[in-house]
Every structure is written in C-alpha cells, then in structure tokens.
Structure 1
Amino acid sequence: MKSLPEPLYTTHYGAAYVGDALELLRGLPDESIDLVLTSPPFALQRQKEYGNVDQDEYVDWLLSFAVEIKRVLKSTGSFVLDLGGAYRRGRPVRSLYNYRVLIRMCDELGWNLAEEFFWFNPSKLPSPIEWVNKRKIRAKDAVNTIWWFSKTDFPKADITKVLVPYSERMKLLLQNSDKYYSPKKRPSGHDISSRFAEDKGGAIPPNLLPIPNTESNSQYLRCCQMVGIAGHPARFPEKLPEFFIRFLTDVGDTVLDIFAGSNTTGAVAEALGRRWIAFEIDSSYLAASAFRFLNEAQEDVVKSLYSKLIAEGAKRIIIPQGAMQQYLLEEMGEYKTS
C-alpha cells in the first residue's frame, strides 16, 4: 500500500490532498475511515467543466472506487453516495445509471443498502431545458438519489442526533395530550402507546431531505470573487453533509470525501469536531476550498493565501484553529508553511 503525499493544506482536524481519488485511496490504511460521504461528477449528457464521465462508462468508473472504499471503511462505517438523475441522450427518457450503481454495488461488491434517501432541492431551476422549458412535456428534475451503503447490517447510526422540529399539531398534542390523543390500535395495525405523547426533543426525520441549494453570498464565494475565479459549479449545501455526519458519526471520527470539489464536507466536519480527509483532482478547486476555513474574508489575506496554494511546488500550508487572521497577517497569511 502506498502512503499519501503531502496535503495541499491542513486544518486542526483535516487534510486536503490533490490527486486522483483512486490512487489516493490506495494510500489509506485498512478500516481507517468512519464515513465516506461524496457527490461524484454525475453521468450527464454533456461534458461539464468539473470532469463528468460519459453515461456509457459511468457505472464501471464509479464502481472502481467502491472496492477501495470498502477496504478503508471500518466495519461500523457508512458510505453515503449522492447521485443526480439524468436523461438519455436526445430522448425524454430517464437514464437508469444511478439505479444500476445501486444494484451492482450490492449484487457484485457485497454492499448493503442501509437505506435510500432523496434530496429534494426546491430551489433548483427547471431542467432539462429541452423537455421542461421548451416542449413542456416533463416536470423539472429536483430530486437526487442518495444511497446509504454499509458493510454490515448494523453500521453506527443514531437518528436522535438529527431530529427535526415537531409539527404544530404535534406541539399541541404534547401540550395537552389528554385532549388530542388517546392510546389505541390504529386501523393500519400500529399500536400507539401512551409514550407517543412524550416530548423527545423533536420528530424522527423522513428519508426525504428538503434542503434548498441557494448559496449566493457565502464567504467562499466572496473570496472566489476577490481572486477573480468562479466558485465550483456543482456545490452541495452544508446542511446535506451535516445531516449524515451528525447521524452516522461521533465527535473525533474520520470523514472522507473522495470528490471534494469546494470541500463542503470537510468544512462541515471541521465545524462538528470530526477529523476529515478530502481528495480532489483539480488543484484550483481545492486551493479555493481553503477559503471555507478562514475566520473572515480580508482581500489581502485571501489573495496571498490563494497565490501560495496554487504556486507550483508550494509547501504544505497549515491553517491553524482559532487565531487564523492574526497569524495570516504576520507574514501575509495566517498560514505556516512546512
């Protein structure tokens, strides 16, 4: 097994590496990761700037990573895979690539499907243009499939860490259970006990996750603008990795994103006290992802940091916890180089 190269940058809890994810995975020890959470480039009809693979090759390409992921994942760990839907080329017919990934992961590679989730992005623009906007014969595609895979039947998980607020009706029931609720067997066969009226701090969430993707003025995007670059074009919102990191890991566990992009996963893991590892093949995307770990966005600091990160042969940059801005300003960056 190879060892990992020097990271592009590190933080208090994590490290970001530039390179091909498959090669970098081979540098990780067996059963060293608690959660692999990633959103790979989707199998879209048209080539995107972030390097998606053609639909015909996609399933084989993606499954090549799953073998190494299974090796590095702990027996109690989870692999969460976010996949967007797609249409067949030139036809108003859906591609089945994401379901083929699911079936082959389980049938050929021995993964378990712990549960399927669906990320609903209510803010997503109508697409695809041809079938939705022009011909108006399809509804807009606004839901991603998210497969939660595990190596065993009982991976680490605690749904009480991701409870959602009670509905107004449930709040009334909790305030006056005698008036609104009586324990009995329902027509569906569910036997509802008196404990149903106990306040448990929130409701169990469904496997439909309504999370808008509306980032428009974040520090990350402001910093990208300062250095004259565009943000990563396929970012997911922080609340998506936050849900699974809280649900499937404990403080101090290690989270890996093999297609890190702008490293939303790493930033959320850092904020939640989890160790994290990020792999990204595009060095410019990974360099800009460091903006997520700044305490504040000062233009001179941001430009200095970015120039150091993208400089050829630059040494590893350490982003320390806490006094980031003060340290940066000492020598035009709160960044130590080693």
Structure 2
Amino acid sequence: MQNYDEIIKKELYNTKYGRLFVGDSVELSKSYLCRYYKNKFNLIITSPPFPLNNKKRYGNLQGNEYYEWFIKLAPIFSSLLTDDGSLVIEIGNAWEQGRPVQSLLHLECLLGLVKNQHADLRLIQEFVCYNPSRLPSPAQWVTINRIRTVDSYTHVWWIAKSDFPKADNTKVLRPYSKKMLRLIDKKKFNAGKRPSEHKISQKAFAKNNGGSIAHNLFELETLDPSREVRLPHNVLSFSNSISNDYYLKRCRSDNISPHPARMHSGLVNFFIEFLTRENDLVLDPFAGSNTTGYCAEKLKRKWISIEADSGYAHNSIIRFEEPSFDSKLKVSTHLGGDSVRKQT
C-alpha cells in the first residue's frame, strides 16, 4: 500500500473546494480514499470507460475482462459512500464485435454491480440522456450498410446503499409549460376521476410550486422542434458539441485535443443539486476533463477527482482558468504543470 507522501505526489492541482489526482482510480481508492475517506462521499458521479469494440486513447476494456473489472468497483464504491449517499454512473450501449447486434454487456455490468455480495447496493432509478448530436454509430451498420438506426442515448444509473438516499426533487424543478402557467393563473380545470382511475382534486393545479417535477429523460436537444425544451434550470439545454464552452474554445485556441467522451455539464449539475447540499463531498474516479470537479466547484461542493491519463488531467486545468471563475487554482510543479498538455 502506498504511503501518504507517495499519494500526495499524485495530486496535480487543488482549488478552494477540491483536488485532482493522476493515477489509477482503483489503486488510489484502495490505498488512499478507503483509508482516509471511508463512508465520506455523499455522491460518486462518473462516466467510466465504455466497453467499446475499438480501443480508445482514454482506455477501455472489452468483454468479460470489462465485466470483471466493472463489478469489482462495487465494494470500493460502497465503502466510500455515506449511508445516504448515491452513486450515479453514465454508460453507453455496446455492440457485438463485427455483428449488427446490441451487446448485453452494459446490462450485465449493472446487474453484477448491484448484486455484488460484497457491496450492499441497489438500483434507485434509471435515467436516459438523449443527445441527437452524437455521431451516427455503430457506423458500419448505420451509415454504410444502413440497417440500424443512430444510437443517440446513454443510460444513467442512480444507485445507492439505502432505499432512501439523500435527494430533493424540489432543487431540480423544470420550468412550467405555458399551458400549466395558464392553469395556475385561472385556477380552473377539469377535476375529478380520469379514465386511468387517478383522481384530480380541485386544488391539484392551483398552487405554484416554482416548477414541475423533473423527468428521468434528459433532452439535450428537443425531440419535437414545435415545442420548447423544458429541462431543469441547472441542466444546460445544449449538446456537448456546442462550441461556446470555454473549455472547447481554449482547446481550439491552444491546439489541444479535448477529451473525446466528456460528461455533459448540465447532467452533472442536475445530480449534484438533486442529491447533495453545499459542502457535501463528491467523487469522480474517472474524471476525464474533470467536468465533475468544475461543476462541484461552482456549486460549492467539496470534491476529489482521479484521472489515469496525465495529458487529459493536465488539460482539465483549463476549466479552472475560466476568467469569471475564482477557483484559487494551485498546480503542483512536480507533475510538470502546463508542459505536458497534449497537443493535436
């Protein structure tokens, strides 16, 4: 087991609220986090490497090797979470090698994670993140043979150690529709029993609660152009490819390759505000460009992020150099500072 001094040498930078380490997340979790942060994290939110057929630079295992690696995360995550803490994992679909058949691997991983006998975890709710700006994939079957449709969504699994993890959906309300605002204003609607046997009271739509309850489908772009996207205020209604993001602008201007599998900042904001409070502790063990740390910092949550690729870790410093963002960034000189940022 690595000692404390060796671990600290892996810290690339720290801010007012958080720290980013460069290294293997499983190794660092076992040797450092499980020792000093056992049962301390209120939220673990991450997008681990997907089980893709083609190897990516950011690293990804395949098949049974991926499954075995994934389910071994269960006891680690369980030991790090508070009793009312949550684990949120975003993961995409996988396809069988050389076949137009969707793999069951991601579902097997979910079942293996929550059924791991060394971790007391359960699936609280599944969310779907729809993003029509994703490139057509799998390309062989979508754009070449044209026998499949575009894979345009990812799964987001909300998992916890308790049936009742800390959560408050009033913190992530959607804006009311124009129709609903009219109902609230007029206080006149068709009350009574519906064909579904639900009973609508006379006061059901009379009170303005500040917004409607969020759905478990995130439209990063509208499904129907004729209506307005009503995402919670803290979920930004644009896709990850939009060019007005400071991180992407800096990557272009500095000739840096951005991380190819960034988590959507609006998605991270949603779960941080839904499942935590100010000064709670958030972990992202597969940080990538450190969207989680950036969002947690803005929302005044304490955070720890881990990224195995030193280049992507160094590039994530850009997020905390945003002019309007007073992050009190301190970069460790012993890990090379700006000198190892990866160029295109």
Same fold judged by TM-score > 0.5? Answer: yes
Q: How many residues align?
A: 305
1:201 to 184, 207, 210: 210
- What whole-Å deviation, never above 9, does each CA across 1:125-184 have from its counterpart, x for those lacking one? 211111111111111001111110000110000011111111222122112121xx1321
State the 1:286 CA deviation.
0.7
User: Secondary structure of the residue that 1:195 maps to in structure 2?
Assistant: coil
**1:30 Cα deviation (Å)?**
1.3
Give yes or no for contact 1:44–1:55 (8 Å, CA) kept in 2. Answer: no
Quote the Cα distance in structure 1 between the aligned partners of 2:133 and 2:202. Answer: 40
For structure 2, which runs of at least 5 residues remain unmatched after alignment? Answer: 221-238, 339-344
* Contact 1:59/1:100 (8 A) holds in 2: yes
Q: Give the alignment partner of residue 296 of structure 2, picking from 263, 269, 277.
A: 269
- What is the rounded CA distance, in whole Å, between the counterparts of 1:72 and 1:139 in structure 2? 39
Q: Secondary structure at the match of 1:114?
A: strand
What is the aligned-residue RMSD (CA, Å)?
2.1
Aligned to 2:267: 240
Task: Decide whether the 8 Å contact of 2:78 with 2:120 is kept in 1.
Answer: no
Q: In structure 2, the residue corresponding to 1:194 is in which secondary structure?
A: coil
CA displacement at 1:316 relative to structure 2: 8.7
The one-character-per-residue Cα deviations of 1:202-248 (angstroms, maximum 9, x if unpaired) are 11111111122223242212323344321111112210101100100
The code of the aligned residue for 1:41 comes to: P
* Structure 1 unaligned regions, length at least 5: 298-304, 318-338
Mapped partners of 1:274, 1:195: distance in 2: 37
What residue is the counterpart of 1:255 in the other structure?
282
- Conserved? CA contact 1:215–1:237, under 8 Å: no
Equivalent position to 2:20, from 11, 16, 20: 16
Shift of 1:95: 0.7
Distance 2:209 2:143 in 1: 45
Which of the residues 111, 117, 123 maps onto 2:133?
A: 123
Alpha-carbon distance, 1:273 to partner: 0.7
Match for residue 169 of structure 2?
A: 159
CA shift at 1:5, angstroms?
2.3
Of 140, 162, 182, which residue of structure 2 is paired with 1:172? Answer: 182
TM-aligned CA deviation for residue 93 of structure 1: 0.5
Match of 1:87 among 89, 95, 104: 95
Distance 2:43 2:150 in 1: 31
Q: Tell me the equivalent position of 1:183.
A: 191
Counterpart of 2:103, as a letter, is S
Q: Deviations over 1:48-84 (max 9, x none)?
A: 1111111331111112222111101000100001000
- TM-score w.r.t. the length of structure 1 is 0.85
Kindly, what percent of the aligned residue pairs are identical?
42
Does the Cα contact within 8 Å between 2:91 and 2:106 map onto a contact in 1? yes
Q: Does the 8 Å CA contact 1:111/1:149 hold for their aligned counterparts?
A: yes
Check whether the contact 2:70–2:113 (CA below 8 A) recurs between aligned residues.
no
- Name the SS for the 2:129 alignment partner: strand
TM-superposition CA deviations, 1:232-287 (whole Å, max 9, x none): 11112210101100100001101100000000011001001101110001111111
- State the 1:92 CA deviation: 0.7
For residues 218 and 237 of structure 1, what CA distance do their matches in structure 2 show? 11
Cα distance change on mapping 1:145 and 1:278 into 2, 3 Å: same
Q: What TM-score results when the alignment is normalised by the length of structure 2?
A: 0.84
Query: What SS does the corresponding residue of 2:256 show, helix, strand or coil?
Result: coil
Which amino acid is the alignment partner of residue 5 of structure 1? I
**Contact 1:219–1:296 (Cα < 8 Å) also in 2:** no
Task: Please give the alpha-carbon distance, in whole angstroms, between the structure 2 residues aligned to 1:253 and 1:23.
Answer: 24
Distance in 1, matches of 2:96 and 2:108, equals 14
Paired residue for 2:77? 69
Question: What is the alpha-carbon distance in structure 2 between the residues aligned to residue 131 and residue 278 of structure 1?
Answer: 36
